[in-house]
Structure 1
Amino acid sequence: MRHIVAVQAGVTADEYDREPTAAELDGIEREMSVVLAEVDLLDVYIATLDRTPTELDSRRIRRARRRVLAARRALLNQSDGTSLFGGAA
């Protein structure tokens, strides 16, 4: 049985098969504080999924939201004015 495959598959790399560039890694590193703050917010939401949020849970959610906003603000303040988030603006 013969398998039919693309002749150039071993030579040409797909766009998604490559390693990230240095610029992409720098961008990830620059946005890491926002990513970690969003993960913390998601953790708080997950912890309250199966129950009615208590007052303490509500405080944790508000605190986590404020951390996300502060991290985004800090990132935007250090950026060069380029759009960092996928908003419609």
Structure 2
Amino acid sequence: MNIIVTVQDAVTAFEPWMEPTDAELNAIDAEMPIIRAEMELLDAQIIVIDRTPCELDERRIRRARRRVLAAHRDHINGLPGQTGGIA
């Protein structure tokens, strides 16, 4: 006869100590402009995935790429303890 038991780790997989720390949440908040810009670029690329991009589509993608680069630049320049630039 086999005894059926629950696996404790699977049942309690989300313990309070597994929550993100304040530092991790602050890092995510600091990167949100980058995340939003990358999502906008991805949306623009998805729109033209199954068709030939028209001039408006190409402009939308270029603008989105510039926003991603600007968001990365602003994030790097705004980090405390950084001298700026990409290593």
State the TM-score bracket (shorter-chain normalisation): 0.7 to 0.9
Q: Determine which structure has the larger helix proportion and give its number.
A: 2
- Output the amino acid matched with 2:22: A
Percent pairwise identity:
52
Partner of 2:19: 19
1:31 deviates by 0.3
Q: Work out the number of aligned pairs and report it.
A: 81
Partner of 2:68: 68
Runs of 4+ in 1 over 2 A off after TM superposition: 3-6
1:77 deviates by 0.4
- Output the amino acid matched with 1:76: I
Partner of 1:38: 38
Partner of 2:3: 2
Equivalent-residue separation in structure 1 for 2:20 and 2:35 (angstroms):
18
